[in-house]
């Protein structure tokens, strides 16, 4: 299959296991699950799907010479995300990302184990992403998951041109089994644009408040039987429509606030709730003369910008919700 990707261009995919997985019901569901959750559904952010990103992560590790197993792991790494993606982390507060905590249970009930078995693979081998070092690394290092969603966000937010994005892919190399960058200027652009993308979306105060509101709506819907837990593994639109169709007045009042017209103010004296902002950055390892060092060690000015960003996003933030009049 010739797959046209907006980051990596046209790519021929001929491995039948990858093609079968891409056409599985489990992966196809991700076409309706947005990277940015509720803000993607509301049109605040581009409706980038988990499917596009999952295929992109697979294409990136493939480009970098990954084994077939790592390509499969990349393709499946987000398959257990619920509707609205990371909103489940707020609904079911726990020590780790919810989709990771339930991945084994979810995958066991899909068509993936049978597909993988037909190709000689045990599905259990793909549950733990940290077994695949090109796919996953602890932040703030480069990895395919982090790089792919950032490059797509940079296009959607106007932080990079298609030429810049494809140029950055060309400067990625593998050393010591990990993804690094072989050009200082490219590493600097990636790191700074990543900060800007996070500030505009995942660590944005308004988005954090909207996530909290939709999480509260889902919690209420689960408590009152409007939603069953299994419903959360539908698409964003399907779950939203179920919520919107409910006759529960308290639930409808909450949903009415999940809107582009709602305003949020920092009011510690009379907050409706408090939120924490995501604190995520990139600090790419840069290879020069065969030696790898993090960008922050090579560029003190960037290190200062990164520290200032992390400091600015720290702590808990009061939110007062102001409904549209």
* Torsional sign, CA 158, 162, 164, 169: positive
Please report which confidence band the pLDDT of residue 93 belongs to, taking 50, 70 and 90 as the band edges. confident
pTM for the whole thing? Answer: 0.96
The two three-digit tokens of residue 3, written as one number: 């797959």
CATH class of the 2-203 domain in this structure: mainly alpha
Worst-scoring range by mean pLDDT, 5-9, 44-48, 215-219?
A: 44-48
Dist. CA 77–CA 72, nearest whole Å: 8
pLDDT at 325 over 90: no
Dist. CA 230–CA 216, nearest whole Å: 17
* End-to-end CA, the chain: 51
Which pLDDT does position 12 carry in this prediction?
A: 97
The two three-digit tokens of residue 55, written as one number: 């295929």
* Torsional sign, CA 125, 128, 130, 135: positive
Dist. CA 269–CA 9, nearest whole Å: 51
Task: Decide: 89 and 108 in contact? Cβ < 8 Å.
Answer: no
Task: Decide: 137 and 178 in contact? Cβ < 8 Å.
Answer: yes
pLDDT tens digits for range 123-152:
999 999 999 999 999 999 999 999 999 999
Domain map of the chain by residue range? 2-203
Inter-axis angle of helices 236-245 and 249-257, to 10 degrees?
130
Task: Decide: 282 and 150 in contact? Cβ < 8 Å.
Answer: yes
Task: Give the rounded distance of the alpha carbon of 245 from its chain centre.
Answer: 28
pLDDT tens digits for range 249-275:
999 999 999 999 999 999 999 999 999
Please report which confidence band the pLDDT of residue 18 belongs to, taking 50, 70 and 90 as the band edges. very high
């Amino acid at each position: 299959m010739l797959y046209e990707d907006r980051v990596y261009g046209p790519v021929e995919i001929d491995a039948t296991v990858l093609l079968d997985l891409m056409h599985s019901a489990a992966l196809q569901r991700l076409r309706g699950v947005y990277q940015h959750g509720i803000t993607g559904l509301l049109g605040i952010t581009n409706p980038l799907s988990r499917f596009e990103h999952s295929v992109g992560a697979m294409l990136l590790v493939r480009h970098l010479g990954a084994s077939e197993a790592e390509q499969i792991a990349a393709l499946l790494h987000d398959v257990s995300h619920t509707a609205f993606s990371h909103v489940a982390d707020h609904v079911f507060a726990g020590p780790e990302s919810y989709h990771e905590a339930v991945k084994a249970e979810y995958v066991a009930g899909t068509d993936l184990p049978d597909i993988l078995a037909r190709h000689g693979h045990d599905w259990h081998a793909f549950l733990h992403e940290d077994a695949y070092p090109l796919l996953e690394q602890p932040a703030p290092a480069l990895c395919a998951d982090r790089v792919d969603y950032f490059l797509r966000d940079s296009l959607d937010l106007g932080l990079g041109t298609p030429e810049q994005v494809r140029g950055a892919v060309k400067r990625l190399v593998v050393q010591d089994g990990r993804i690094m960058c072989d050009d200082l200027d490219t590493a600097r652009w990636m790191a700074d644009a990543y900060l800007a993308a996070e500030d505009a979306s995942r660590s944005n105060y308004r988005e954090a408040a909207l996530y909290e509101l939709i999480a509260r709506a889902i919690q209420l819907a689960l408590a009152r039987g409007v939603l069953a837990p299994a419903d959360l593994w539908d698409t964003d639109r399907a779950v939203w429509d179920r919520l919107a169709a409910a006759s529960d007045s308290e639930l409808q009042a909450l949903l009415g606030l999940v809107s582009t017209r709602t305003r949020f103010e920092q009011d510690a004296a009379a907050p409706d709730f408090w939120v924490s902002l995501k604190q995520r950055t990139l600090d790419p390892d840069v290879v020069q003369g065969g030696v790898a060092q993090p960008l922050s060690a090579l560029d003190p000015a960037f290190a200062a910008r990164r520290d200032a960003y992390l400091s600015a996003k720290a702590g808990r933030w009061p939110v007062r919700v102001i409904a549209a009049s």
